């Protein structure tokens, strides 16, 4: 998923924020340049599977809430190598739950009552939807199709078990496909943008008719803040963008925006759409996801601000305006100076 926006806390509140990250291949500290100098931002390079390091970070920072977003999330990678997904998404969630439970249990009564553990998950745990009108609700049965979604489903079950067994005050959210600035280039939308700008093929699985609900990252960030601050303990909230699109239509929409915003196409390319290339579908590919987000709207008043058209335009323009960010990812340079680009604790 894209890096969550800092402004809800760093710019608009007096809160302190601790960011715990292992810094795997997808961890890019350059995405945090706007907050790294803030005295209220703290970074810990920690693997959530390492309980001792987590204990130390908790003891030093003394959080009033935990938002668990750490996950391996790329479906293709989970098919090629599921072990990392089992380790991070299942074992890591267990480790974080246990560290949190020990910390929470030791808090004074008032702080203990106010504490929250917010687990951020995905709509992919629900599996494939039948028909064109059905929607995922918070009570839809789980039926994951990939090693990634199965590992996230396992994590969801662990979080709910720690609530039921130990009383840990949890919140769970299941979101649809995120997109927006700072999205790692292996994901569909940035991959298509950057391939098109380079004149490379735009791979589309199967016939491209798979349907996804697209959620702009800033809308997702706002929803997470609302759930953390006002959600009912023990409840699940589905977060969707109300923007169902077929994959092929997403790719074509990006091509059309690039015709407008980047008309100087790579040499030898008559139209960006000419780069579309259909490839063999991946194993177990779900056909349709779609979220019913009426609960979070009804109970917390959240609705997405961006349409798919407005969010996609902002996203394409951001990548056009920030070549230095994605070029350093494509070259691997972003990994080289990590120690010097972050204020560590």
Q: Which of 123, 213, 218, 219 is catalytic?
A: 123
128 as an active site residue: the answer is no
**Which uninterrupted H or E stretch holds 224?**
helix 217-230
80 as an active site residue: the answer is no
Distance CA 42, CA 61 (A): 9
Q: Which of 21, 72, 124, 219 is catalytic?
A: 124
DSSP secondary structure of 67-134: EE------HHHHHH-THHHIIIIIIHHHHHHHHHHHHHHTS-HHHHHH-EEEEEEEGGGG-PPPTTT-
| Non-local CB neighbours of 257 within 8 Å, separated by 6+ positions | 312, 313, 316
| Non-local CB neighbours of 270 within 8 Å, separated by 6+ positions | none
123 as an active site residue: the answer is yes
Query: Using the 8-state DSSP alphabet, how is residue 46 labeled?
Result: -
User: What are phi and psi for residue 50, nearest 5 degrees?
Assistant: -100, 95
Could you give the angle at the alpha carbon of 17 between the alpha carbons of 241 and 178, nearest 5°? 20
Q: Which of 41, 94, 126, 148 is catalytic?
A: 148
| Non-local CB neighbours of 166 within 8 Å, separated by 6+ positions | 101
Q: How many helices (H) and strands (E) does the chain have?
A: 12, 11
The catalytic residues are: 123-124, 148
């Amino acid at each position: 998923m894209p890096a969550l926006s800092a402004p809800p806390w760093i710019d608009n509140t007096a809160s302190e924020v601790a960011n715990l990250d292992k810094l795997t291949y997808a961890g890019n500290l350059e995405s945090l340049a706007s907050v790294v100098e803030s005295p209220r931002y703290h970074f810990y390079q920690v693997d959530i599977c390492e309980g001792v390091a987590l204990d130390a970070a908790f003891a030093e920072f003394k959080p009033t809430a935990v938002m668990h977003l750490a996950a391996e999330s790329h479906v293709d990678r989970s098919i090629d190598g599921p072990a990392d997904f089992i380790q991070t998404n299942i074992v890591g969630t267990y480790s974080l739950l246990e560290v949190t439970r020990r910390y929470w249990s030791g808090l004074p009564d008032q702080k203990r009552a106010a504490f929250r553990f917010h687990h951020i998950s995905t709509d992919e745990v629900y599996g494939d939807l039948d028909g064109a009108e059905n929607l995922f609700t918070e009570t839809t049965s789980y039926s994951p199709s990939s090693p990634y979604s199965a590992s996230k489903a396992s994590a969801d079950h662990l979080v709910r078990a720690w609530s039921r067994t130990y009383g840990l005050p949890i919140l769970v959210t299941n979101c649809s496909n995120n997109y927006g600035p700072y999205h790692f280039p292996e994901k569909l939308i940035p991959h298509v943008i950057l391939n098109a700008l380079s004149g490379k093929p735009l791979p589309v699985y199967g016939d491209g008719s798979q349907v996804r609900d697209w959620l702009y990252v800033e809308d997702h960030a706002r929803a997470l803040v609302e759930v953390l601050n006002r959600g009912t303990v023990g409840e699940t909230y589905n977060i969707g963008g109300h923007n169902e699109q077929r994959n092929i239509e997403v790719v074509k929409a990006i091509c059309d925006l690039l015709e407008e915003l980047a008309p100087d196409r790579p040499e030898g390319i008559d139209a960006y759409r000419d780069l579309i290339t259909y490839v063999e579908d991946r194993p177990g590919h779900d056909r349709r996801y779609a979220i019913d987000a009426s609960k979070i709207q009804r109970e917390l008043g959240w609705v997405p601000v961006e349409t798919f058209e407005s969010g996609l335009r902002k996203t394409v323009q951001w990548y056009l305006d920030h070549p230095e960010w994605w070029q350093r990812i494509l070259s691997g340079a972003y990994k080289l100076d990590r120690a010097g680009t972050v204020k560590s604790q």
